[in-house]
Structure 1
Amino acid sequence: MTTSIRGTANADVLTRFRRSAHWKPLEYAFWCLPVLAYFAFPGNYLLLSQIAITGLFALSLDLIFGYAGVISLGHAAFFGVGAYTVGLMGSHGWSDPLLGLLLAALFAGIVGFLSSFLLLRGSDLSRLMVTLGVALMFFELANKLTRITGGVDGLPGITIGPILGVFDFDMFGRTGYIYSVVVLFVLFWLARRLVRSPFGQSLRGIRMNALRMPALGVPVNRRLVKIYTIGAAYAGAAGALLAQTNQFVSLDVLSFQRSADLLLILILGGAGHLYGGLIGAVVFVVLHDQLSDLNPQYWQFWLGLILVLLVLFARGGILGTAQQWIESRRQRTQARQRAGSTS
């Protein structure tokens, strides 16, 4: 009897996993938007590329913050490692973009793996300080090694070859945009499969109650090390895309401002949803671009005001609030149907 109940429960869990892995119509519609943007905004490929790169960067933080609950104020360290990897390769004759992308993700993942052990020693506040400290160390290291990184002047002379030896990066950003969107989609697909697997469900459990998970047989520390390494590799890939599309790397890729903006983007879109980071990136980059054009001196004030209002009235972020609204409407509809059937 007990065995049959357990078998039924396990079957129900597997069924839910399979259902959650299926792509929904809204997801197909969402990924049609980059294609429509390609034709609708032919003069803004550079801005569209920036949105795709920022979306991938936000996705990398969502994996460790939205799912595992590890907050970070130094995620730009991995972004910068990826950017400088491509920059140094391009300035020394290694111009293959796909090789640069893979090595950037690899080196950023190694840095994330090594620094992840420091995160296991403390609570949320100490983890926050560790991530910030790692980012500041990398920023000052890049600032001091001027002969290698170019320091405050940046790293010029980066040469990026054609993709697959065929598609050259053009000055209008057309190839860079398509390349960035394809990389974003592939990495998003992998992240989607990851978070909908038992591994991803264990991350959610760690975020909700890390003390209880060992009793269920979940190795919490190993899970955190793995997801932190994966998130760092994703951030390194985003940095590589920025260096390849701009063909220039500066200290800005390691700045605290970039990490702070990233956390704001994720909270704005909705953490723990994957799509929240992408939506937050679209809103943030577009607001940044439009407000800086309207008011070059005080655009940060208006951007801050808009973000504060969004957070006040949409505490779960844009995507989280939308899901809550849809769920509440569904519950009200079901309640009315039950009331009608009983009457």
Structure 2
Amino acid sequence: MEETAGDEELESLLGNFRRVSQGYKDALMEVQALRVNYSSESKKREALELHVTDLKRDNERLRGLYTETLYRFTNQCLGIWDCVIKFYHITYALVKFHAEAQHLKEELEKANSRLLSMEEVANCLLTPKLPGKPKINLTSANVMQEHKREMEQLKHSSEMNSNALENELSHALVQQATDEAATKQLKLELAAHKVHIDMLRSKLEQVTADVHSQYKNEIQDLRDVIAVEQEEKNDMHRKLQSAENECKFKLNWGTWIWNPLLDSIPSVHCLRVDGFALSLASVRIMRVKQAEQQRDSISVQHVETLKQKVMKLRKENESLKRRLASSEV
């Protein structure tokens, strides 16, 4: 029997040991699985952190690009304005030079006519009066030479002015072509910015409409609450008035019924009965007034809360309007 009991105890111990070892193995497997899960979750968290960092970097980059685009657009607008001013100045100079050239041409024509007339006079003077005895007028020859010199100077100055005008005109045409290309590019960018601004305006109008509708709903809720509270207040006033009238009626009725019966009772007992009735009536009136004050305080709290919500909505509306104005600018 003892050996059988020892074998059973040994088998039970072995079974317990097997269960403990199996539990230990299961615990090790669970720990390993938890470690694997922890490592995978850590990797996921790191990947998410990297993704968040990339998103923040992209956000900053896009913000910088947007700011740079606006700055460049402003500079290009200023440059176009300067180019327009320069173009107007060049056009004015061209008109002025054209007028001067016309004036020089007129002077040249006048000088040519004068030269022709002087040549005719010189030919007349140089023709011999007697055959074989020519007579030369030296004064007219000097005048002709001086006139030719002036004509050459005028031609030279007119050629220089025309060359300068041609150079300026070519530069102006090149500058005009460049300005037109820049203007087209800026018009495209301006159209894109207008589309973006229109989209922002539509979104802002939608948000403003939502805010206004929410504001109107809050105002309507406030009015409904005030109407309900006013109705409850009037009801409480009516109940209080009816309670006071009932108390007065009961006191008068008790006095009218009990006074003949209490003539034989001492005055102290009558005072106690009247005081007890009055105390009951005053307690009831105080309870009604306390309930009314509590309802008034609750209604005031509701009104203050709704006022705060309305002020918050107004501030949000003002901020949205300022954002719209800044985006349009």
TM-score (normalizing by structure 2): 0.20
Q: TM-score, length-normalised on structure 1? A: 0.20
Higher-Rg member (1/2): 2
Q: Which has the higher contact order (CA 8 A, sep 6+)?
A: 1
